[in-house]
Amino acid sequence: MKKGIILAVLFAFVCAVPGVFAADIQKVRVGTEGAYPPFNYIDKNGDLAGFDIDIANALCEAAGVECEFVTQDWDGIIPGLIAKKYDCIIASMSITEEREKKVDFTKKYYQTPVQCVANKDNTLEYFLEGIEDKTIGVQRGVVGANLVRGKFGDNVTVKAYATQDEANMDLASGRNDLVCADSVILQTGFLDTEEGAGFQFVGPSFNDQEYLGKGIGIAVRQGDDDLRKLLNDAIDTIRNNGVYKEINNKYFDFDVYGK
């Protein structure tokens, strides 16, 4: 009888304490790109910085685990996760059906629309009739590229780049007519810079789930339910205790979490 009571107490304790049930997770290796400001980038001291990095550190603290960061080019970031170079991806990755065939995701931790940018001197109404035969720069492998191809199809020339900065530079030099990407990335990474002074947003904001997915989530290897639960619980914790809002306000003057 006493043995049964002891087992019941132990079971209740294990279920009540995060991180001790099933897998005792003590360190989480986080894969990120480091080339997507203001979400993740390398600062002037050579350190990783940005919204994604602060969120990752806050999640690890909330979960009581150690964070270790691994940088990886975007094109290889999912293969790197599958190959166990890191345990999760916190790099502004949209939750899409195509990616869900390869990895599992947590709930979203933010959601922003896609917009397009063109030269202020170009008075052509691009959307949708006037966009025909134009050259649009996108970052390779991101949802903005999916949207451009899905929305505009064969009517435009799509130029894909390894980074968004490369696409923006070709817009500034006249080799692209437009670039389309996350609205925050284009605002802070281009329009607010000296190079972007002669450019502006054109057309609507896009939130099409068909192309853009269900928000930005954290990718884990398929079947890694312990880590996914740990991270989901940590997202709830920082959303409820005010830490998320503090990080949000450090980078943005609006609620980046979205609807």
Task: Report pLDDT for 177.
Answer: 93
Token pair listed for 198: 């002669």
Q: Are residues 196 and 149 in the same domain?
A: yes
Q: Are residues 100 and 147 in the same domain?
A: no
Task: Report pLDDT for 17.
Answer: 42
Q: Are residues 103 and 45 in the same domain?
A: yes
Q: Is residue 4 part of a domain?
A: no
| 189-193-199 Cα angle (round to 5) | 90
Q: What is the pLDDT of residues 35-61, one digit of tens each?
A: 999 999 999 999 999 999 999 999 999
Q: Is residue 257 part of a domain?
A: no
Q: Are residues 98 and 150 in the same domain?
A: no
pTM, two decimal places: 0.81
Helix, strand or coil, per DSSP, at residue 75: helix
Query: Does pLDDT of 22 surpass 70?
Result: no
Domain count within the chain = 2
Query: Does pLDDT of 195 surpass 70?
Result: yes
Task: Report pLDDT for 122.
Answer: 73
Query: Does pLDDT of 14 surpass 50?
Result: no
Q: Are residues 197 and 226 in the same domain?
A: no
| Helices (H), ranges, 106-259 | 143-152, 164-172, 183-186, 209-212, 225-240, 243-251
Q: What is the pLDDT of residues 87-110, one digit of tens each?
A: 999 999 999 999 999 999 999 999
Q: Is residue 194 part of a domain?
A: yes
Residue 198: CB atoms within 10 Å = 11
Q: With contact defined as beta carbons under 8 Å apart, do 103 and 219 qualify?
A: yes
Task: Report pLDDT for 16.
Answer: 42
Rounded Cα gap, residues 243 and 233, in angstroms: 14
Task: Report pLDDT for 129.
Answer: 67
Rounded Cα gap, residues 101 and 115, in angstroms: 27
pLDDT, mean of residues 131-135: 87
| 210-52-112 Cα angle (round to 5) | 35
Q: Are residues 54 and 77 in the same domain?
A: yes
Task: Report pLDDT for 123.
Answer: 61
Poorest-pLDDT segment among 106-120, 198-212, 238-252: 198-212
**Is there a cis peptide before residue 79, judged by omega within 30 degrees of 0?**
no
Q: Are residues 57 and 30 in the same domain?
A: yes
Q: What is the pLDDT of residues 151-176, one digit of tens each?
A: 887 889 999 999 999 999 999 999 99
Q: Are residues 145 and 133 in the same domain?
A: yes
pLDDT, mean of residues 119-131: 72
Task: Report pLDDT for 151.
Answer: 87
Domain with residue 54: its CATH number is 3.40.190.10
Main-chain dihedrals φ then ψ at residue 40, nearest 5 degrees: -155, 130
Q: Is residue 12 part of a domain?
A: no
Task: Report pLDDT for 1.
Answer: 43
Poorest-pLDDT segment among 66-80, 91-105, 140-154, 234-248: 140-154
Q: Are residues 100 and 223 in the same domain?
A: yes
Q: Are residues 134 and 197 in the same domain?
A: yes
Question: Across the chain, what does the average pLDDT equal?
Answer: 89
Task: Report pLDDT for 138.
Answer: 96
Q: Are residues 33 and 93 in the same domain?
A: yes
Q: Are residues 233 and 190 in the same domain?
A: no
Q: Is residue 9 part of a domain?
A: no
Q: Which domain holds residue 122?
A: 114-212
Name which residue leads in pLDDT, 141 or 224: 224
Q: Is residue 5 part of a domain?
A: no
